[in-house]
């Protein structure tokens, strides 16, 4: 009886093994019959042999253009750009995939979940749940070499409308006189106003802000032409004209109103600012700059506007230092 049971068990296991082998063979045959893009040795290492590129080296890590991310091997669309976010991990991060485009496969060790292209089986990376980066609470951690990118293209009649004629940026980097001085010099800047933002007091005065009780920062509101100067260029100029490692001070000026802070007016601005901050951090700069959503900007008293232009001198605590 024992011998009979062993024979039955062997037959069942052999049948299952044969079926799995058949399924794998069919999948491989199906994939081999597809037309794939030619891969470089590094792409083969990651895509075919499930390798991982070094963090912060990939093409799409600090990349936030509008468009679609595709499988590098077969070209299938995998992710939309609005699903991408900065996961601060060194690899492109997405909180959602195009429906049906990405397949999840538990790793053999049971600790992680691999993600592959549903169409061709190309290795993309791994997916993580419960980290709290976005409302979807999901992070697809993807190798850049597993991806290609198709930029968003507009119909020809909309081309001239792609960039607005005006946009607004708000920066705080110590005394607003010095911050304004450098931003005014940038080609493409239309106008600047110094004022107060980030606090809780309505229509604050300079004296109230200096009391450190209103929570406001001295800041500059910049109206600029995106067709002449980009927001990223302004962010870089902001970092190159003050010390972003100082907390609640800039040079001899001390107090929370002198903090380094970027007040973004859109999610696109936020992502660009995060990108530039990460570039500095990767250079070893201990950035203390806050990144906050802009609230009400209160224009400062008239005698503060265009201060150095009227005075005919240069800032005492803002100096230009090339960092990019």
Calpha distance 94→140 (Å, rounded): 5
71 in active site? no
Going 197 to 199 to 205 to 208, the CA torsion angle's sign is: negative
Q: Which of 71, 120, 141, 317 is catalytic?
A: 141
Average pLDDT over residues 117-143: 95
Predicted pLDDT at 141:
97
Predicted pLDDT at 98:
94
- Note the pLDDT tens digit of each residue in 244-292: 999 999 989 999 999 999 999 999 999 999 999 999 999 999 999 999 9
Is residue 56 within 8 Å of 90, Cβ to Cβ?
yes
Predicted pLDDT at 261:
98
Report residue 180 as tokens. 């304004």
What would the DSSP string read from start to end of 64-83? --SEEEEETTT--EEEEGGG
- Res. 310 pLDDT band, cuts 50 70 90: confident
The β-bridge partners of 148 are: 70
Calpha distance 229→182 (Å, rounded): 14
Report residue 170 as tokens. 């708000």
Predicted pLDDT at 296:
96
How many angstroms separate the Cα of 241 from the Cα of each of 65, 154, 167, 320? 26, 36, 21, 4
- Note the pLDDT tens digit of each residue in 32-61: 445 688 999 999 999 999 999 999 999 999
- Pairing status of strand 93-94 against strand 84-85: antiparallel
Report residue 75 as tokens. 């070209």
Tell which CATH classification among 3.30.1060.10, 3.40.47.10, 2.40.50.140, 2.40.30.170 matches the domain 163-311.
3.30.1060.10
As a CATH number, domain 41-151 is 2.170.150.20
Is residue 13 within 8 Å of 21, Cβ to Cβ?
no
Average pLDDT over residues 163-188: 92
Calpha distance 282→82 (Å, rounded): 25
Calpha distance 285→244 (Å, rounded): 8
**Residue 205 CB coordination number (10 Å):** 14
- Note the pLDDT tens digit of each residue in 144-164: 999 999 988 644 434 444 667
The β-bridge partners of 139 are: 128
Q: Which of 71, 117, 120, 175 is catalytic?
A: 175
Calpha distance 237→164 (Å, rounded): 21
Determine what percent of the chain is predicted with pLDDT higher than 90: 73
- Res. 317 pLDDT band, cuts 50 70 90: confident
Report residue 112 as tokens. 């992680």
What are the sequence ranges of the domains in the chain? 41-151, 163-311
Is 4 a residue whose pLDDT tops 60? no
Is 5 a residue whose pLDDT tops 90? no
Predicted pLDDT at 160:
44
Calpha distance 317→236 (Å, rounded): 18
Is 3 a residue whose pLDDT tops 80? no
Nearest to 242 by CA among 323, 184, 169, 300: 323
- Contacts of 167 by beta carbon, 8 Å cutoff, 6+ apart: 223, 224, 225, 226, 231, 265
210 in active site? no
Predicted pLDDT at 48:
97
- Note the pLDDT tens digit of each residue in 62-114: 898 889 999 999 999 999 999 999 988 999 999 999 999 999 999 988 889 99
Report residue 78 as tokens. 């995998």
Calpha distance 305→176 (Å, rounded): 9
């Amino acid at each position: 009886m024992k011998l009979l049971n062993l024979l039955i068990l062997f037959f069942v296991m052999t049948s299952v093994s044969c079926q799995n082998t058949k399924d794998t063979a069919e999948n491989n045959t199906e994939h081999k019959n597809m037309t794939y893009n030619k891969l470089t040795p590094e792409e083969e290492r990651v895509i075919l042999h499930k390798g991982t590129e070094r963090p912060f080296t990939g093409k799409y890590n600090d990349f936030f253009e509008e468009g679609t991310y595709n499988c590098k091997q077969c070209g299938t669309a995998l992710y939309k750009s609005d699903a991408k976010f900065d996961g601060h991990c060194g690899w492109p991060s997405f909180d959602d995939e195009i429906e049906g485009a990405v397949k999840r496969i538990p790793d053999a060790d049971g600790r992680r979940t691999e993600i592959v292209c549903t169409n061709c089986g190309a290795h993309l990376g791994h997916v993580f749940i419960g980290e709290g980066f976005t409302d979807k609470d999901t992070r697809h951690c993807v190798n850049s070499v597993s991806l290609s990118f198709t930029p968003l293209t507009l119909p020809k009649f909309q081309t001239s409308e792609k960039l607005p004629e005006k946009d607004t940026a708000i920066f705080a980097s110590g005394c607003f006189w010095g911050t304004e001085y450098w931003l005014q010099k940038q080609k493409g800047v239309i106008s600047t106003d110094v004022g107060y933002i980030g606090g809780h007091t309505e229509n604050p005065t300079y004296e109230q802000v200096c009391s450190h009780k209103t929570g406001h920062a001295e800041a500059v509101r910049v109206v600029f032409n995106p067709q002449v100067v980009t927001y990223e260029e302004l962010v870089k100029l902001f970092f190159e004209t003050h010390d972003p490692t100082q907390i609640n001070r800039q040079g001899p000026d001390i107090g929370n109103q002198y903090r380094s802070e970027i007040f973004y007016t859109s999610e696109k601005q936020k992502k660009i600012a995060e990108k530039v901050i990460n570039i500095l951090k990767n250079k070893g700069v201990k950035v203390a700059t806050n990144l906050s959503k802009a609230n009400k900007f209160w224009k400062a008293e008239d005698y503060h506007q265009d201060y150095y232009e009227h005075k005919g001198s240069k800032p005492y605590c803002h100096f230009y230092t090339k960092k990019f």
